[in-house]
Amino acid sequence: MVIKLSTLNLPNKIPKWVFPKLLFSSLSSACTIQITQENNQPSTTSSTDFATKIQFLKNKLHPQTLTTILDSTPDLDSSLKLFKWASLQKKFHHSAHTYFQIILKLGMAGKVEEVEGFCNEMVKDKCPNYENVLLDLLDVFVRNSRLREALCVLSCINLCRLNPSITVINKLLGALVKDRKEFKDVLFVYKEIAKAGISPNIDTLNYLIEGLFVADRLDAALDQYKRLHKKGCSPNGRTFEVIIGELVARGRVDEALVVLDDMFRIRHGSDYSSFYASMIPLFCDMNKLDVVRRLFSMMRACEVLPDLQTYGAMIKCLCENLLVDDAVKLVDEMVGNDVRPDDDVFMSIIDGLCELNMLSEAEEFLNDKEVASVLPYNALLEAILKDGTFNMARDLFEEMFERNAVDHRSWNIMIQYLCYNKRLKDALKYLSRMIVSSVSPDSSTYSALITGNCKLGECEDAFALFHELREKDGLIDLVSYTQLIDCLCQKEKVLDAAEAFCFMSTKRFALQSTSFEKLIEGLYASGYTVTAIKLLPIAYYCGTSFSAAAYNSVMQGLSSLGRASDLFIVLSRMVVDGCTPNGKTYCILIRSMILLGHIEKSALFLDLMLSQGLSPNSEILSELLEYLVENTQVHMILSSIDKLVSEFEVVNSAMYNMLINGLLKEGYKNKASFLLDLMLEKGWVPDANTHALLLGSSVEDEIDTEKPSCGKFITQDTVGNILAEGLGKFDGHYYRL
């Protein structure tokens, strides 16, 4: 059947979401709804609770009752059905409070569009007290961080030309800025204020400035700061806190100091405790002592009591500038103001006194203040030992021990010092007392003992301690790790060193490059070249860096094993790891290529070596020249010869003779004559064989350029081929040798 809305006394327009299954059609000023009779009743599938509420409303339907029922209905769907059912009842009019309940439920469920629609319907119905309901909705949505819903309500408020208080608006702005919402939302609220003719106050503008900073619009934020007076506002503590803090956070410290000077110039003494609690630690971290002193004086003038953080930052800054007397006065002031100093405060004082080498004064300070915490005492204990005054440290430790003010760290400080100074027997005495005192040795204790044994050359005992700690799932520190590897290598316990390295590598502990190179060299020297090779990818995995020296040891080992062909694998790995070959690398490669009979590659590596400003030693160069002369291939290094004789001083008289002999035999008379001239200039006399060749040679004059130069043999493609050959033999993680 067709029911006219006018006969039901419903609102002028019912939102679509109230009747999602109804068909609406517009007929001039009236609307009709195609609806069946049963639509006036709840569906047969409704819960018993829902039916009970409907029955209750039938007997007693008015806005207050519906409001109570809606408030007690937890789910949104049931609430909407109840609201719809009530809307269809004759002679029933929704009140602002029934709208409040349904809008609140929709808003808390995140139904933004529905919130806007119901707000507009409530306004159109002109429900009594709707103005206050809108303001209440705005407040509750802000308090519950439903900010999109709050923006919808604000839009409706302004359409109604209501004038909410600036306090309510500021709450919304503050919530938007705090939740880091998009700046367009902040700007929307600010524009709505302007449309409503509401004058912003300094809190409003502070939120606007902060929102601009959040949006990374720093220049616009500073412009708003400069225009505060034009808007009838003066900056307060929050203004300076926001601007200075944001500028410093973005690295614009100079501009922050300019703004701070503005504050000092207008003699603005902020009564915001949060301002000082924020600014003083900020500038203390920057070590702006003059600034923090002025701020601290202003805080006192405003009778703002510093909190623990502010006192702590000031004391630390003073101590870092060695103004320890002033810092101690602040500690006394703290105690007088019932602000209890924490460990950080005492640590700052101790650090400052120790920096001034006022060790006795530091101990006296701790005793005077009756400090119960062990941390400052440990700091003093370390400082005394660092100064080398063991007797004083021993006496302090005994006092701490008598007062039961020692912890693991206290014992370890004493043991570590003694071990590092090769006083292992004394360290073991403290260890015994430590165990008797029911304090179990920890990783730091083991690390110190391992270092102590290593310094005395007792690598077997050190390695046993390493195993003992390993069984307890402990790890030594980097210092003792390095000491252990070095000691084991020195005592030729290279397999033990390799075991320790492999274990620590699984924990991603990087070893010092010099220690790793000692390990690789030791493995090579002991004949464990394959083991050394396997350690290279492990080192890469754990972040251990190393130079060409480690690769050189591996290459030498491979060459000595008769596996010179595998050198290309190691060379390729060097390139992948970004390690540049050095002179020794090239010498190993050249000698290995000679052993393999690779003439062209031996010449290539010589050319690469010279191009990088490196020169072979006399032994390697002599071997190469003999090899080339023997195989009548001296012409392969023509360009290298020029570099050898002009840039390096490694070619001696015997080498000149070999080069001249070889070139003459290969038909390069001009180049041989050139070398002879250089040889004579140096005052060297050719040997008999060279002299005979020069006098009796029947080689006709020729031009060297007619002969192929080494540049035509040694190309970058050849280098690429060598590296490709090596890269093809390893998978990037492990050498497959």
Express each pLDDT in 684-702 by its tens digit.
Answer: 888 777 766 666 554 444 4
Residue 59 in domain:
no
Identify the residue whose tokens are 């106050």.
Answer: 201
pLDDT for the residue numbered 310: 95
pLDDT for the residue numbered 585: 92
pLDDT for the residue numbered 37: 30
Burial label, 278 (beta-carbon count in 10 A; 0-12, 13-18, 19+): buried
Residue 565 in domain:
no
Residue 676 in domain:
yes
pLDDT for the residue numbered 224: 92
pLDDT for the residue numbered 7: 28
Which range marks the domain in which residue 676 is found?
Answer: 652-694
Domain count, the chain: 1
Residue 662 in domain:
yes
Residue 416 in domain:
no
Residue 680 in domain:
yes
Express each pLDDT in 527-574 by its tens digit.
Answer: 898 899 889 889 888 988 888 888 888 888 888 888 877 888 888 888
Give the closest residue to 287 by CA, choosing from 260, 314, 309, 308: 314
Which residues, listed in sequence order, are joined to residue 32 by a DSSP beta bridge? 4, 25
pLDDT for the residue numbered 471: 95
pLDDT for the residue numbered 2: 31
Residue 128 in domain:
no
Query: What is 643-675 written as a DSSP string?
Result: HHHHH-S---HHHHHHHHHHHHHTT-HHHHHHH
pLDDT for the residue numbered 105: 83
Q: Structure pTM?
A: 0.67
Q: What phi-psi label fits residue 343: left (phi over 0), alpha (psi between -120 and 50 degrees) or beta?
A: alpha
Q: Measured between alpha carbons, how far is 19 from 13 in angstroms, rounded to an integer?
A: 12
pLDDT for the residue numbered 270: 59
pLDDT-flagged residues of the chain (< 70) = 1-48, 50-59, 61-67, 72, 87-88, 90, 93, 267-272, 691-737
- C-beta separation of 482 from 457 below 8 A: no
Structure tokens at 465: 């301690």
Residue 623 in domain:
no
Burial label, 733 (beta-carbon count in 10 A; 0-12, 13-18, 19+): exposed
pLDDT for the residue numbered 697: 52
